[in-house]
Structure 1
Amino acid sequence: MPEETEAASNSGSMDDKPGSSSAVAANSSVDVMVEAKKLIGAGNRHLVMGDVVSAVNVFQEACGMLAERYGDTADECGEAFFLCGKSLLELARIENTVLGNALEGVPEESSEEGAEGEKPDSSKFESADNLDDDDDDDDDDDDDEGEGTAEEKESEEEVGNLQLAWEMLEVAKVIYKRKENKEDQLMAAQAYLKLGEVGAESGNYSAAVEDFQDCLSLQLKHLPPHSRLLAETHYQLGMTYCYTGQYSQAIQHYSNSVKVIESRLAMLQEVIDKAEGEDAAKEEKTELEELMQLLPDIAEKVEDAKESQRTASSASVAIQQTLAGASTSSASSSAFAENGGTSAFGASPVPVRSAADGTSSKSASDISHLVRKKRKTEDSPLKDTDAKKAKQETALNGSGDSDPASNGNGVQEKEAQEASC
């Protein structure tokens, strides 16, 4: 019994020691958070210095540590995920800019020339006729399998920075939005803002507008009317609406951005006027100068949007007039075709007198009966002697027919044949 009591007391003392499992877990949690805070601070410094690549690496390391310790959607991961997504967005923009500059001035035929230049190198390889067919087939199969595996791995590993940025910002948005305090709600608004920028950068303007609108609704709820964040969101909405050709909405948001900046300038000027001493209100003076330089640029955006709206309206009117003119001309041409003899576009019929008037009942343009008669004469199976006999009989009988009507028809046929010749 005394031994059991001593063992129990020893076990209790072991639980209370700093080296126990619970104490180690608590200490490790504190250590992870402290280390993550250090990494986040280093990443922010890299962003200030413009070293976006280093910032992304540091933020990703912090995200991995926090996610492993607390879980992907834990509250502790919000800041790291947001900053990592923001940095990835900046990195994607830099890469797109560099790629665009690199492609400028490159002729399209360069790839074709390169392909042609590579053709002579193929002669250096051995011909397939000199190789064993069985071995060649086996090697081809192995190569195909190896290439397929490599391509599958590359497709799995290749994820663009914009996609990664969207994933990070989406998680950060979920983390911040579920908390109801003002600070976290404003961070959710910033996550929406960056998500909108990701959508605009990738060309998904409808999603970008939706994210910007969600950001604006949260900001209007928690920010004063002269906040620069409101001006930025209105500006982003104006640009996105311009991309989609919705110039009325673009002008509205650009104008709202100008109004916010003007109210901000008035507030800053009031603070500066109340300050005493030359060194007072330095930050306000610096911000005032920045906004004074920014305001003309936004005003120019408003004028550009108005000009684009006028141009689009004029183009729309011109297109409608062109389509209306085309439909009118098609309708008039069909009317000409229906009216027949009233226009040069229709075929005017030739008036033909009836057989009672002593003329042919066939149209003047129809010479098929003459062709048939001539064909019969040419293709007649009678010999020359038969033809001579027929002529002699005709000469002996006079007109060849005592019927005057038949004589008249013969004259008409002769006249018609002469006319056709």
Structure 2
Amino acid sequence: MEVETKSGNAGQEATKKEEAFTHLAQGKRHLLVKDYSEAVASFASACQLLSQLYGELANECGEAYFNYGIALLELARTESDVLGIEGEGEESQDSDGDDEGEDEKEEENTADGEINHVENGKGNEHGSNEKEKNATEAEPKNINERNGTKDSKGEGKDNSTENVEDEDDISNLRLAWEMLELAKVIFRRQAEGNKQINLKLAEVHLKLGEVGLESETYVQAIEDMKICLEIRTQNLDKHDRSIAETHYQLGMAYSLVSDFDEAIGQLTLAHMLLEKRIEYLQEKGKQSSANSEENENPFYTIEGEITEITALLPEVKEKINDTKDLKEKTKTALMAGLDAKKEIAASSESEQGASSGSSGAFIVSLQPESDSKPVSDISHLVRKKRKLEPNSSEEKCSKHPCPEGSKLE
């Protein structure tokens, strides 16, 4: 009996393992074709099965967590873009409609109706029931799988609330961060002396940085990207495109915190490394050979990569010029604000000076005749009191700090 039980358990484990890796392969395929909803569903199933088989922090789960985090991040970006566009359309419809139409819209504006507006860009609530059903079912199912629960599709749809799109977007970013953090822990444990795992760890930090940019936690995003750059610099050639990509991402992150000098520096480094990459590829093409890493992609050609990088260079250069222009505009605005404050302070001082002069005469008239100090000394004392007024002309104009309120929660 024990032998049969053990063999039965082994068979179940083998079946679960095969199913998990099937879901993982399907998720990668969906991710490749940018079908992020299906990718999220497949990776969620793979993560659940692998964590049951090996444990939540097992080495076997690292790849699944990493891909699941990427899929969630891309899904959150897609939903954020769609909601941003539709938000403008709904405002215009509200402004053009009459009062009666607005009342009807408020009565029918359930969570299902909102999803219809997002998907169709129209007010037709009956034309996209299938898309609506998929959108409402996908997110709760994935989150429930992560939490180890199994709700039915109907239950997932019934738990609708107002502003459901925003809540799903926040939960996707939050869950993406959690999965990437788990992947980071697993890869860091395996990274010592392993170049491939180190490069995976660098990718995890880069994606964590991208999550930080999406959630507006810019300082943490910069720190994660710095770690990515350090790992890639230690494990890759200087002309590798991945290093240039990291410099570019860092430049964008620094520009969001108004550190324009550092942003320009990072973007310039990215441009320079891409130029070096072209030179390297041209030399490599003359030798009619490609390294083993490049041969891993069956569709790769040196000429194709040179064409891609050549097309990227003007975009990077334009971004550098835009950042320089933004720096000058910001500096001009700050100087204008400082000058305006000085003018206001000077005007305030002149008004206070006029009022102090009249009050000074009043004070002089009330001074007793026995006072030994001359009138001019008394007016001098009055001016000293005026200088103690709280209005000061030495206020400094500071930059508005970049908001760091996290959208993850």
Under a length normalisation based on structure 2, what TM-score does the superposition of the two structures give? Answer: 0.65
Match of residue 215 from structure 1:
228
Match of residue 197 from structure 1:
210
1:326 aligns with 2:344: yes
1:163 aligns with 2:174: yes
Per-residue CA deviations over 1:59-96 (Å, capped at 9, x if unaligned) read 11111100011111110000001001101111111111
Whole-angstrom distance in 2 between the partners of 1:65 and 1:113: 52
Counterpart secondary structure, 2:219:
helix
Per-residue CA deviations over 1:384-417 (Å, capped at 9, x if unaligned) read xxxxxxxxxxxxxxxxxxxxxxxxxxxxxxxxxx
Name the aligned partner's letter for residue 333 of structure 2: A
Whole-angstrom distance in 2 between the partners of 1:287 and 1:96: 31
Per-residue CA deviations over 1:247-280 (Å, capped at 9, x if unaligned) read 112111111111221111111111112118xxx9
Match of residue 40 from structure 1:
24
Which residues in structure 2 correspond to 1:211-290 (within 5 Å)?
211-275=224-288, 283-290=301-308
Please state how far the C-alpha of 1:338 moved relative to its aligned partner. Answer: 3.5
Whole-angstrom distance in 2 between the partners of 1:120 and 1:262: 59
Whole-angstrom distance in 2 between the partners of 1:31 and 1:20: 15
Match of residue 302 from structure 1:
320
Please state how far the C-alpha of 1:332 moved relative to its aligned partner. Answer: 2.8
Give the structure with higher Rg (CA).
1
Whole-angstrom distance in 1 between the partners of 2:359 and 2:8: 106
Per-residue CA deviations over 1:85-118 (Å, capped at 9, x if unaligned) read 1011111111111112222232344697555347
Gaps of 5+ in 1: 1-10, 122-148, 351-421
Structure 1 residue ranges, 4+ long, deviating more than 6 angstroms after superposition? 118-121, 149-152
Name the aligned partner's letter for residue 41 of structure 2: N
Superposition CA RMSD, Å: 3.4
Identity across matched positions, percent: 36
Per-residue CA deviations over 1:331-390 (Å, capped at 9, x if unaligned) read 233333334499xxx99x99xxxxxxxxxxxxxxxxxxxxxxxxxxxxxxxxxxxxxxxx
Whole-angstrom distance in 1 between the partners of 2:51 and 2:319: 43
Q: 1:178 to 1:111 in 2, by over 3 A?
A: farther
Residues 17 and 53 of structure 2 are in contact (CA less than 8 Å); yes or no, is this contact kept in structure 1? no
Q: 1:323 to 1:223 in 2, by over 3 A?
A: same
Under a length normalisation based on structure 1, what TM-score does the superposition of the two structures give? Answer: 0.63
Per-residue CA deviations over 1:99-149 (Å, capped at 9, x if unaligned) read 12222232344697555347999xxxxxxxxxxxxxxxxxxxxxxxxxxx9
Match of residue 74 from structure 1:
58
Report the count of equivalent residues.
299
Please state how far the C-alpha of 1:207 moved relative to its aligned partner. Answer: 2.0
Counterpart secondary structure, 1:105:
helix
